[in-house]
């Protein structure tokens, strides 16, 4: 790796605004790039915080509240309306 061209890779807290969930990970985002917002974490240290709209704690796919669409019924309605095409 070339020295001096990579951004700093430091601990950052990502906080889900919808689910009230937060997790600590490493990122290239720093306190000055997050608008200077910081939060005190469970270990007593202060870290930059990034507020996200949705995460695995609030996304319907991960929480099990996602609905499955009836695509088979849609295909059948289309074929009924316009007929089935024959393969060449």
Q: Is 3 helix (H, G, I), strand (E, B) or coil?
A: coil
Residue 2: predicted pLDDT: 84
Give 24-81 pLDDT, tens digit per residue: 999 988 777 778 888 899 999 999 998 877 776 666 565 566 566 666 677 778 888 8
Kindly list the strands in the beta sheet with 46-52, ordered across the sheet, starting from the edge strand earlier in the chain: 21-27, 10-16, 46-52, 38-40
- CA-to-CA distance for 27 and 15, rounded, in angstroms? 14
Task: Quickly tell me which residue has 């996304």 as its tokens.
Answer: 59
pTM beyond 0.85, yes or no: no
10 Å Cβ neighbour count for 14?
17
| CA–CA–CA angle 17, 21, 23 (5° rounding) | 115
């Amino acid at each position: 790796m070339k020295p001096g061209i990579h951004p700093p890779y430091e601990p950052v807290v990502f906080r889900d605004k919808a689910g009230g969930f937060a997790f600590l990970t490493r990122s290239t985002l720093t306190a000055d790039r997050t608008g200077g917002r910081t939060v005190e974490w469970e270990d007593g240290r202060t870290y930059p915080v990034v507020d996200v709209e949705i995460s695995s704690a609030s996304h319907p796919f991960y929480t099990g509240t996602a609905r499955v669409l009836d695509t088979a019924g849609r295909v059948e309605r289309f074929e009924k309306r316009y007929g089935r095409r024959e393969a060449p």
